[in-house]
Amino acid sequence: MNTFDLIVIGAGPAGYVTAIRASQLGLEVALVEEKEIGGVCLNVGCIPSKSLLKNAELVHLLRNESETFGISFEKLNLDFSAAVKRSRRVSERLTRGVEYLLRKHEITILPGRGELVSGDTVRVTGENGVQDIQADDIVIATGARPLILPGVEVDGSRILTYREAILQETLPESVIIIGAGAIGMEFATIWSSYGADVTIVEMLDRVLPQEDPEVSAALEKAVNQAGIKTSLGSRVSDIQVVKDQVEVHVESAEGTGQFAAEQALLAASFVPNTESLGLDQVGVEVSSGGFIEIDQAMQTSRGGIWAVGDVTGKLMLAHVGMAMGVVCAEQIAGEQPRALDYRMMPRATFSRPQVASFGFTQEEAEKAGYEVRVGKFTFRANGKALGMNHEEGWVKIIAEKQYGEILGAHLIGPEVTELLPELTLAQRMELTPQELIQNVHAHPTLGEVVHEASLAVFGDPLHM
């Protein structure tokens, strides 16, 4: 039996980062992966979708803003398949890069499905047969998959998950997106930019329901103005394929209703990939939803078995999974890693306009007993934003009143996902809005809105 210091099951962002960091710390590592190095994120998620969103940005500009920039043309030809092919090239380049990094760190890659047969043994079943491998520590990083509604069959033609949606080279003429979270809003942005008729159905009462309510309202207004229809407070009761279209039946406070389109995208929720892992037989506890229970060090209920990333259900974002992987690897190697504060982790949605946030909303902070100050500044008063013709949105900072502790920030507008790190770093290093004010921001930049929002915490913005 081959033995290692550490076995990682799953090669998505959480898993491969765990493996690399552990190797850097001197551990001999085996990485077991059933499908794709890089996981969902690199292959059919965050990376190819951002490539498509860049195409969508250009298409939107040419279709809707060209005259503003003094650009005219007789005919605009849009090749959606070319955009998808470009996204595949981007994805393949990054996955090859990850494979190179794993080889560079001398990590043993074992293709196949991993199953726990004891607290220190993993059975790998793949094309080359079955083999058992052993290690003192095992990390589970098997991720999650879309929730499929009971009785609904994903056929890849009429009913899709993100996987089929990201790979199809034909633009749907019409689509119903079930779920107004980040995935739903990003696909809505892509497809509507190219001219598809998009309807978003959301069970809760607002888009991006985990975000600041004011941000949700602003984004809903923006997407409605862009021609994307929203049906909020609508629970899907049934999905049926009828001839050449999909019918989505919903129930709401107003009664029952029905939407029809060429395709339907399931983007409402996720379930963990924990089946057939052998968790029961080795004593690993899971939640009622099937997610693996862990402590701050990523340790499960069974000593020597750890879990990171989406399979834990903590915060299902690739960068959070990577951070968890680093903490886990360092803990296993005997280091003293920092604890992660999941509330303060950055969140990003690459819709149009973009949304970024972390920490408490004002309402959440006040419910938690904080007395707060709120500073808000709009992009309408920012020269760079006006020059970009992207003046919608704002930066909002929530700060504790007495000592100035930054409790959260909520941003909507142009490239706000790139503005967030200054604020999360400030919170991490216990800086206050007063210290952000003292940081000189280059002019003209979008980052000046962070400076002005910091001033607004004290009621003193310079340009409003």
Burial of 152 (0-12, 13-18, 19+ CB in 10 A): middle
Torsion, Cα of 284, 285, 290, 294 (10° steps) = -90
Q: Is 249 a catalytic residue?
A: no
Element spanning 217, H or E: helix 213-225
**Which of the following is catalytic: 60, 390, 410, 443?**
443
Answer yes or no: are the C-beta atoms of 361 and 419 closer than 8 Å.
no
Phi, psi dihedrals of residue 191, rounded to the nearest 5° = -65, -40
How far apart are the C-alpha atoms of 19 and 22, rounded to whole Å? 5
Contacts 24+ apart (CB under 8 A), 233-236: 233/202, 233/203, 233/204, 233/205, 234/201, 234/202, 234/203, 235/203, 236/149, 236/178, 236/201, 236/203, 236/268
The packing angle between helices 182-193 and 46-60, to 10°, is 40
Please choose, from the candidates 36, 342, 351, the residue with its C-alpha nearest in 3D space to the C-alpha of residue 182: 351
How far apart are the C-alpha atoms of 142 and 97, rounded to whole Å? 21
Count of helix runs (H) and strand runs (E) in the chain:
14, 22
Residue matched to tokens 């089946």: 275
Please choose, from the candidates 161, 157, 197, the residue with its C-alpha nearest in 3D space to the C-alpha of residue 179: 161
Terminal-to-terminal C-alpha distance of the chain: 69
Q: Per this entry, what is the length of the chain?
A: 464
Amino acid identity for residue 34 in this structure: E
* Distance from the Cα of residue 365 to its chain's centroid: 24
Give the residue numbers annotated as catalytic, written as ranges: 443
